Copies of this chain bind each other. A is one copy, B any other.
Amino acid sequence: MKFKVKDVDITTGGTLVAILNKKDALMLDLHTGDRLRITRGGKSAVAVLDIAESVKAVKRGYIGLMEEVLEKIGTKQGSVVSIALEEKPKSLALIKNKLDGRKLSAEDMDVIIQDIVNNKLTSVEITYFVAAGYTRGLDMDETVALTRAMINTGKILKVDCYPIVDKHCIGGVAGNRTTMVVVPILVAAGYCVPKTSSRSITSPAGTADTMEVLCDVNLDIDRIKKVVDKVGGCMVWGGAVNLAPADDKIITVEHPLSVDAEGQLLASIMAKKGSVSATHILIDIPVGRGAKISRIDRAKHLKKQFLKIGEKLKMKIKVVITDGSQPIGNGIGPALEARDVLWVLGNYPGAPQDLRHKSLLLASEIMRAYPLSGRKARHGYRYAKELLDSGKAWDAMMRIIDAQGARVKDPAKIKLGSSRFDFKALRDGKVEHIDNVSVSRIARVAGAPFDKGAGIYLRCHVGNRVKKGDKLFTVYAENRQKLAYARDYLKQYDGVIIG
């Protein structure tokens, strides 16, 4: 069957799509979601059918093609292409099996994840996979299979050292940039730490966003390897390396309903660790009001699951449950957090002690759990403190920053948003709660993480006594309009509860 091409001038970046008029589709017995092979000359591409209700979109006799398809078959507006029905991906039958409550084998999981990574499934089809995993649950075998499938469909970093240490925080706590303190301490101690991090998804800053204030984080896999081989560690953006790419596509369809299937959470985290060939891992589960995990029993259950999956994947895992009831550090937003980190590493007077303490704790947990032979790793906390106080951790950080292409190394030179205002206490009292969700939201409204200098700098902590008019926090923005947005938002929610 021949159709004239209409260039629909859109790139989805995902599944290839072809649009037919409803009457043409009916005539050809074609339905939304059917796969069509579109051929012109010797070139062809497979696209998913979407059906246009109106002739305005695609007239009869025409086929609407996105730019990716046009490029793939080397054609343009007005050309004639032929179409033929293709078999649907096998993965659909497997997803249906899971939806029906049947267990997926490791091979099944491979097929599904390969199709997701190769953009062969539509968002509706991926949604069925997510919904099936959520309602039927993934057992440990399936979770392990999903993890392995996600690792194997992405790039894998291989560095020549052992152990390869990694850490992960379940998240939800504002500030909390411990990774950027822990990694330098570990590197100073002689550990190999090829750390990849995410950018912010719903928070005002991810570790990658914050590290980017100081140096480049968009390193390809060869450069990461060079950096780690040279200085023993790195802190880069995982998204630049195509590690476990299935994960992002799954997260996109989870978002509308905030579906948080445990199996998928475990697999998502462990796949990122497996992708950097990590052998020894610390998982930090902050618990508290406003954090991602609010209840201790859920944290304990999750801990067990991490230990189980670690065993199956033959990765050493240590899990710590920490206090996630308020922000850690004073800065919230990439530049403000980067400054906190450098202040801690450089033992500056303004350094936030909570961030310093938590980082020392996590570093010492790793050193205690995974001692390097011949090092005095037994005195974890004391040794970590020694590495920090002596400036060795600072030096390690500077080596990492230099290796990744330094931007700023002096905390005084970090550029903060020039539009600022202080949010003050409306009455006397004691700070009873600082809400992670609210302060994160304000920082985002002010421009973080995209505007690096935007965010919040906390001037109080839970337990502090404050008087009416005392500064509770300062909002930073890169322009006045965004500062005004934050001001508006603060009329409703300020995040600091004074009892």
Contact = CB atoms under 8 A, between A and B. Distances in A.
A137 to B, nearest CB: 10
A124 B125 contact: no
A125 B444 contact: no
Contacts of A451: 27
Contacts of A33: 255-256
Interface in A109-126: 122-125
A474 B497 CA distance: 81
Contacts of A447: 27
Given A125-B257, A131-B99, A257-B128, A56 B52 contact: no
Contacts of A64: 10
Number of copies: 2
A253 interface: yes
A29 B448 CA distance: 9
A245 B470 CA distance: 59
A286 interface: no
| Interface pairs A-B: 9 shortest CB-CB | A13-B53, A131-B131, A27-B450, A33-B256, A135-B135, A127-B127, A29-B444, A11-B57, A11-B54
30 contacts: A8-B8, A8-B9, A9-B57, A11-B53, A12-B57, A13-B52, A13-B53, A13-B54, A14-B53, A26-B199, A29-B202, A29-B441, A29-B444, A29-B445, A31-B255, A32-B252, A33-B256, A92-B257, A96-B257, A99-B131, A99-B134, A101-B135, A123-B123, A124-B253, A125-B256, A127-B131, A128-B259, A131-B131, A131-B132, A132-B135
Interface of A: 8-14, 19, 23, 26-27, 29, 31-33, 52-54, 56-57, 64, 67, 88, 92, 95-96, 99, 101, 122-125, 127-128, 131-132, 134-136, 199-200, 202, 252-253, 255-259, 441, 444-445, 447, 449-451
